[in-house]
Chain A
Amino acid sequence: MRRLPVLLSVVLVGLMALSPALAQEQTLKFWTFEYAEAVDPFFEQYVEEWNATHDLKVERQEFPWAQYTGEILTTGIATGNAPDVFFISPGDWRRYAEGGLAMPLQDYIPDYLQEDILPASWDAVTLNDNVYSLPFEMEPVVLWYNKTMLEEAGVAVPTTWDELLSAAQTLTTEDRYGILIPTNPDYYENFVFYPFLWMAGGEVMNPDFTEAAINSPEAAQALDLWGTLVREGYAAPNSTGNDPVDERFPTEQAAMFVSGYWVYGWIKDNYPDFLEHLDVAPIPAPAGKDLQTVYGGWTVMVYADTAFPAEAAEFAIGLFGAEDNTRAAEWGIKYNTKLSPRASVIADNEEFYSQFPHDVFAKQIFPTARPEPSYPPEIAQAVWEAIQDTMFNGVSGADAAAAAADKINSYLLTR
């Protein structure tokens, strides 16, 4: 008859063991996606520094990329467990800001930072004259190429779309693709497509955001270029799953690769032998048109309903916006390959930014770069469905653009 009390006490002990977890401790929650292990010290040092000097402690949590860009933030907010400070993708910030999920930060931004960050970067995170997120990195998209392959094939670096097509054709062989462009239907595919769309003279939306602008001959031309590359077999039709860092480029299964600044750091760390073949150029424009590209980059946001607005803003700003710009510079130079939106970072690191390929990015590519637009998922989806249809269903660029415009306009009606 002793079993019952014993069991009951086991249950009790179990409940007691759980209770500390149930008692909420007051901390500032800081969420990011999972970076490479080498990047961890960057965050650890700052959090340690903060915790040593503040009563309110910061607790950093990181999540796998797929979940972080998928359900993590959404479920955190929906269940009342939102972080106080978090990284937000450029594609998502607008609807967080519009939906009242982001705390306006304008009043917290110190003067030196207001002046140091480039106007275009502020514009990209501003809604109704208030800043809703802090930019801290920029990653422009370019045309990477294998210069050895181009030399061997006698192909000049393409500067127009016609040259791009014929270069891709010439460079395509039995066991290599002429070029790699993203083929997974996703935000990233749109991101890389925007420079093509813009250089042709097309836009997704009108300036007032009241109507689709994608149903234009210019947009059709850009869609047709991508469609032709895939349908003719010059570009790989399948994805290796990680379009931003496609292994087929450094393993010499492709001659050209449309991707971002991060490619350099990735190749340096993982395929150092390939560096001797690596070169970079702006994405070609249609004949007679100006060069343009897009830059992505995450930003840091404060949750609107945080219990500690002042501390959260201080923490977020201090991360990349401290008056001493060392941390902001190290983020792009030491821990990653990214440009900083702070003008002082490039000015103070002249030596680094005069080396290949950073010089090309800082001086040649960056001045032509526009921040990634932030569209709601319904609009983004209409765009990648148009791309997919021209690539895989044999739909003409004009028809695909018209269909995308219809989808966007009917979405705008229900908004």
Chain B
Amino acid sequence: MSTLDPTAAIPGSKTRTGASQRLRGMNRDRLEQAVVAYLFLLPDVLGLLVFVVGPMLLALAISFSDWRLTGAPEFVGLKNYEIILKDPKFGASLGRTILYTLGFVPAVYTLSLGMAVLLTRRGRGNTFFRTIYFMPVAMSMVVAGVMWRFMFDPGNGLINEMLSSVGLPTLQWTGHVQSAMVSVLIVAVWKSVGYFMIILLAGIQDIPADYTEAAAIDGANRWQIFRFIIMPLLRPTSFFVLVILSINSLQAFDQIYVMTRGGPAQATYTLLMYIYEKAFREWNFGYSGAMAVVLFIMVFALTLIQVRFFRSSDVRQ
């Protein structure tokens, strides 16, 4: 404090000076705390900026350019977006992606929820089953794809052997346009269910037992407890699961690439495969970037719709 401090001569100001010093000390402490906190955050923020935000902005910039590998990018405005509107392949691969999403999201959600409910109660063998159900998550998608390809083999695959041993008709699985998407979906669902089961299980176990006990005392049966107690209280978890599932399925790529390469006859050719091929096979980075931006907007919009839906139904509750 300077000597010009008007409060210096005032009696009793000592306490106030002390207070302001304390205040400043606190500010210094806080500042230091903030600096420390930011330093701890720094690696993460840097990583996010360098590996997520940066590439996203770059993709946006590229989407306004015509950039082949063999020359410098050239600004073309919205041309790439205009091409998207006229490109039948974009529409077709988007259609397949939506079809995939419509199969994937409900299947994974209901199955993982069902398994979570079954495994909530402490019972003998539950840990065993949880481990079993979670195992596919720990497996590399490429390994899983290879393994399932053998199981789906129309000639000597395990699945057809099982079907025919009980007298059911066999399928060509990945070798037929009508069953290829189903095959890919089965693998994707199998691979994801365990992970979302764990999340939903944690959500269910977070629900205080008092509620379900009270409901039981009031005479609610198991279905009623599930429908009117667990489901509403599980809403935030369900919201999270559905958002992540939708994002994952709109970006489906690796298991399809491993299992069918988008075939047979394009039956499993999704939007992300098209984006990948445009960029890395055809070296058309601008157009590929534009499609990636459109996909991003769709994912973002879908997430917003889900936020809205869950908020409005919260209000109704």
Contact = CB atoms under 8 A, between A and B. Distances in A.
Contacts of A183: 175, 263-264
Interface in B145-166: 145-146, 149-150, 152-156
Contact of A241 (B156, B258, B267): B258
Contacts of B267: 392
Interface in B268-313: 276-277, 279-283, 285
Contacts of A31: none
A237 B264 contact: yes
Interface string A257-285: 00000000000000000000000000000
Given A4-B36, A77-B69, A238 B265 contact: no
Interface in A170-199: 175-177, 183-186
Interface in A296-311: none
Contacts of B283: 74, 95
A392 B156 contact: no
A377 B264 contact: no
A239 interface: yes
A1 interface: yes
B32 A238 contact: no
A100 B68 CA distance: 12
A391 B265 contact: yes
B194 interface: no
A71 B285 CA distance: 12
Nearest to B177: A392
A393 interface: yes
B70 A100 contact: yes
B26 interface: no
Interface in A1-47: 1, 3-4, 7-8, 11
Contacts of A7: 36, 39
A253 B156 CA distance: 8
User: Which residue among A185, A248, A378, A393 has the maximum number of chain B CB atoms within 10 Å of its CB?
Assistant: A185
Interface string A43-70: 0000000000000000000000000001
Contacts of B101: none
Instruction: Bin the interface of chain A by size.
Output: 35 or more
A241 B151 CA distance: 13
B265 A388 contact: yes
B69 A237 contact: no
A313 interface: no
B69 A101 contact: yes
B39 A11 contact: yes
Nearest to B278: A377
B262 A238 contact: no
B176 interface: yes
Contact of A99 (B68, B261, B266): B68
A1 B31 CA distance: 12
A389 B258 CA distance: 21
A236 B175 CA distance: 8
B248 interface: no
B36 A238 contact: no
B266 A238 contact: no
A66 B67 CA distance: 24
A78 interface: yes
Interface in A364-409: 376-378, 385, 388-389, 391-393
Contacts of A239: 149, 174, 260-261, 263
A355 B173 CA distance: 42
B193 interface: no
A238 B35 contact: no
A377 B172 CA distance: 29
A237 B172 contact: yes
Contact of A238 (B68, B149, B258, B285): B149
B259 interface: yes
B32 A184 contact: no
Contacts of B36: 3-4, 7
Given A3-B36, A238-B174, A392-B176, A175 B261 contact: no
A210 interface: no
Given A238-B152, A239-B149, A378 B261 contact: no
A180 B259 CA distance: 17
A100 B281 CA distance: 17
A185 B69 contact: no
Interface in B220-262: 258-262
Contacts of B145: 241
Interface of A: 1, 3-4, 7-8, 11, 70-71, 74-75, 77-78, 95, 99-101, 175-177, 183-186, 236-241, 248, 253, 376-378, 385, 388-389, 391-393
The 9 A-B residue pairs whose C-beta atoms are closest, nearest first, are: A237-B175, A99-B70, A238-B175, A392-B264, A392-B265, A388-B265, A185-B263, A71-B280, A377-B281
Given A1-B32, A185-B266, A392-B264, 6 more contacts: A71-B279, A175-B156, A238-B149, A239-B263, A377-B277, A385-B266
Interface of B: 32, 35-36, 39, 42, 68-70, 145-146, 149-150, 152-156, 172-177, 258-267, 276-277, 279-283, 285
